[in-house]
Chain A
Amino acid sequence: MIYEVRAGDIEHGGSASARIKADLIQAGICPSVARRAGIVSFEGEMNLIVYSSDGGTIAVEVGPRAVVIRVEDCGPGIEDIDLAMTPGYSTAPDWATDLGFGAGMGLVNMQKNSDRFEIESHVGLGTRIACWIQRRKDTDRSSQKESE
């Protein structure tokens, strides 16, 4: 599943992620895993809206062991990833903070909700983030079906 997010489209901010979470529940993923995937996706979606030059994509893969969320854009890229990953550090414009976003917790929160987190960014080229959220075999409806 690939969801496109437009830069600056704050009006629909979070709607791709709400759909992603609902789709994961529909696919039988347990609510707590779907919730974490939703949080990761929401933070990524808001980053695409607030920071990206031309928007970007959120790709969702349901693998046998993990749900993978990949957030990608084509710029502007992050100059200093360590600084961007510092809790509270933010370069968000006022219109984002006025809406309650841009507190400098987005990337940190994506990492916190992932079992594995990778970020790669090049100024002028863009940013790629991949988050793995392990599925829980005991509560997934779909995995129960597989084992039946």
Chain B
Amino acid sequence: MRLEDVARSIDGEIVVGQEQLDLIVDRAFAADLLSDVLALTEERTALITGMTNPQVMRVAEILNIIAVVFVRGKTPPSALIEYAERLGIPIVTTKKTMFETCGLMFAEGVRACRSKAVSDIGAPA
């Protein structure tokens, strides 16, 4: 699914990434708990979150997150937007809840980045 279609499907606005409308988003992870984002995402995943603190973009940068979708009408602070622009990581904002956002994107073919649970993380390799 293209970034532009993701934004359209969730009535979202592309705040950063107008030049990346064709970016393919086919996997996503949704959480407000950044600890879980750090522990559970894989590469080339979009992040759906309601957290707009500066740490979100640093987490996204470290994890090679391909795009961040801010839900529930959260407006990311301008410093976060500038940081995302510097990194080239698109930002989409939507007024929809996280649940609706996930449902709409799933209906368009975006899938979970992995099915592992936190309870599996601590298990010996």
A37 to B61 Cα, complex, angstroms: 12
By DSSP majority rule, is chain B's interface helix, strand, loop, or mixed?
helix
Contact of B121 among A31, A43, A87 (CB under 8 A): A87
Asked if residues A100 and B51 are in contact (CB atoms below 8 Å), the reply is yes
Asked if residues A15 and B58 are in contact (CB atoms below 8 Å), the reply is yes
Asked if residues B43 and A32 are in contact (CB atoms below 8 Å), the reply is yes
**B residues less than 8 Å from A88 (CB atoms):** 118
Asked if residues B35 and A103 are in contact (CB atoms below 8 Å), the reply is yes
Contact of A87 among B54, B59, B122 (CB under 8 A): B122
A105 to B37 Cα, complex, angstroms: 11
A85 to B121 Cα, complex, angstroms: 11
Asked if residues B61 and A21 are in contact (CB atoms below 8 Å), the reply is yes
**B residues less than 8 Å from A69 (CB atoms):** none
Asked if residues A35 and B43 are in contact (CB atoms below 8 Å), the reply is yes
B: residues with CB less than 8 A from A are: 32-39, 43, 51, 53-56, 58-59, 61-64, 118-119, 121-122, 125
A: residues with CB less than 8 A from B are: 10-11, 13-15, 17-18, 21-22, 31-32, 35, 38-39, 41-43, 85-88, 99-106, 108-109, 112
